[in-house]
Amino acid sequence: MKYWSIKNEQPKESIDFRALGLQEWEFRILVNRGVDTKEKIQNYLHPSMDHIHSPIALKDMVKAGNLVQSVKGKIRIIGDYDCDGVMSTTILMKGLRGLGYDVDYRLPHRREDGYGMKPYMAEEAARDGVEAIITCDNGIAQFEAIQKAKALGLKVIVIDHHQLVRREGEEVLPDADAIINPHQEACSYPFKGLCGGALAYYFINYLYTISGNIETMDKDLIGFAALATVCDVMELIGENRDLVTCGLEQLNRSQNIGLNALRDAAGIKGDIDAYHLGFILGPTINAAGRLDTAADGVELFLTEDEDFAKKTAAYLRELNRKRQDLTTEGLARLEKQLASPKERVQPIYILKDETIDESIAGIIAGRIKGKYHRPCIVLTSGKDGLKGSGRSIDAYNMVEQIRKSEKYLSSFGGHAMACGLSLRKDQFIAFKLDAIEKSDLDPRDLIPRVRLDTIMQLDKVSAETVERLNRLKPFGNGNPKPLFGATGVYVSQYRILGKNRNVIKLELFYNQARYDGILFMPADEFLAFANEAKAPDGSLCIDMAYVPTIDTFNNRNTLQFQIEDLRRSKR
């Protein structure tokens, strides 16, 4: 059972939406996404980098720029092994090289090093004659490592977007020479939701500006920042939407050898959009850091060798296929645990399987969370016991709730929707029971919700509707694909397609007109629904949550309704 509702957010001021060229349903969608003033609507409909605030407003941006300009020797970038870390590193490498700096990089290995800069990385840098270290997508909590670097006489710049460490309510900062992080209390930058890649891009943009070389800056860097933004699941609102929109435009005209090799290896035809970033290119880049070394991703985007690019892109795609297989296998094993009625009814799932690769624990937790609408933590074998990741639902702030049981954990960190943690094996049962007991979830929180933007019956939808919807892209976190509702729609017939029997083509009827529908659902689930929902006369009448699309086949465009959810109609 799912709870259906219609969003009904209100604008902050009186707005004549028709004067802005909007239809009422478009206006409702925008207001539902917090685009609730005339200025916000204008900016949303006309995304531009002109909307970006001056990078000087970022605390320590000027200080960091001056420091880099004073460097005479080698600079080392220390990044992260996920897509944001890879793209941040790439942006800094290409940007600094373009300005003539002697620069290299070091990415931690997920298993051997763990997350973030370590003290021995500072020692390595000192031995290698490095003058300055720039961390990206990490550093804000790497106190010991940065202290070591400073003790060795190195200059340190931190570029990070993660939340600051707090002790007794007070923010605690590492002893770096400059810290670019919008979450600092002393940072006045208006938009706080930037990822590491975006901050790295702003920093490089600032360096080129003050050096008088802005016209020579690699135009692809904004595309790499867009890739980082989408893949780090940042909200596609405000500056992020401007950045991703402009970044996608650049990616689609990019001549970067590595990017285009990856695009070809992934079989992407036509323009790259946010879906390709989040579900094809991003996971492929992430696969390097999950199963091998993330440096392969950086080298792919830095190379000028087409043969190397093709081989590396093919290798990363193969790693991603391996990651997908490992995910499927691990998910199947945990599904067996959830077959237990006692386990299934828990308000939060805390599952353990020491055979699962630690690099995919978070992916599996996310899959289980999505299927059962429960917060989920997946634990597997780590260096010193158990290690894992969690993914959450809106009603459960994971970092706040799990912190109540932190006494059982060796390490813990995260945010409202995700966390990482480790613990001794003998603490597993105690931690699990304590976290479940303190979950504070109302049974109503565990009912999946279908939140419609508006009701629009099928006979009110046209190809123009789809064209207008496309103006609202890119869709993603914070700017979800709009969801329409229609009631009293008859299903006259259907066909089950796909090798996995999970594509349902439907013939729909409403108000004496025929329409095409498509539904992605396992055949057995759909058939069970259809049998239960049929009326005594054998007819099947549904309410549907849908997205209107255009299906192109043999150069012919047809209006098609992609059904995201359905229920038996009360008509």
CA-based radius of gyration for the chain = 25
For a pLDDT cut of 90, what percent of the chain falls above it? 90
Residue 31 DSSP SS3: helix
d(CA 86, CA 316): 13
d(CA 71, CA 54): 24
d(CA 234, CA 260): 24
Q: Which of 247-256, 405-414, 447-456 has the lowest mean pLDDT?
A: 405-414
pLDDT of 554: 80
- 524 pLDDT exceeds 90? yes
d(CA 438, CA 479): 32
Structure confidence at residue 1 as a pLDDT band (50, 70, 90): confident
Q: Write out the DSSP string of 495-562.
A: EEETTTT-EEEEEEEETTEEEEEEEES-HHHHHHHHHHH--TTS--EEEEEEEEEEEEETTEEEEEEE
Closest CA to 182 of 145, 140, 122, 148: 140
pLDDT of 415: 76
pLDDT tens digit sequence for 325-375: 999 999 999 999 999 888 989 999 999 999 999 889 999 999 999 999 999
Strand 449-452 with 3-6, pairing: parallel
Structure confidence at residue 114 as a pLDDT band (50, 70, 90): confident
Helices then strands (H, E): number in the chain? 20, 20
pLDDT tens digit sequence for 171-200: 999 999 999 999 999 999 999 999 999 999
Full strand arrangement of the beta sheet holding 102-106: 102-106, 74-78, 130-136, 155-159, 178-180
- Domains plus CATH for the chain? 55-212 (3.90.1640.30), 340-446 (3.10.310.30), 449-568 (2.40.50.460)
- 218 pLDDT exceeds 80? yes
For a pLDDT cut of 70, what percent of the chain falls above it? 100
> In terms of C-beta density within 10 A (0-12 exposed, 13-18 middle, 19 or more buried), how is residue 19 classed?
exposed
Note the residue count of the chain: 571
- 166 pLDDT exceeds 80? yes
- What residues have CB less than 8 Å from 399, skipping those under 6 apart? 413, 414, 415, 416, 419
Tokens, residue 46: 């006309």
Residue 555 DSSP SS3: coil
Q: What are the backbone angles phi and psi of residue 520, rounded to the nearest 5°?
A: -100, 105
Structure confidence at residue 569 as a pLDDT band (50, 70, 90): very high
User: What pTM value is reported for the model?
Assistant: 0.92
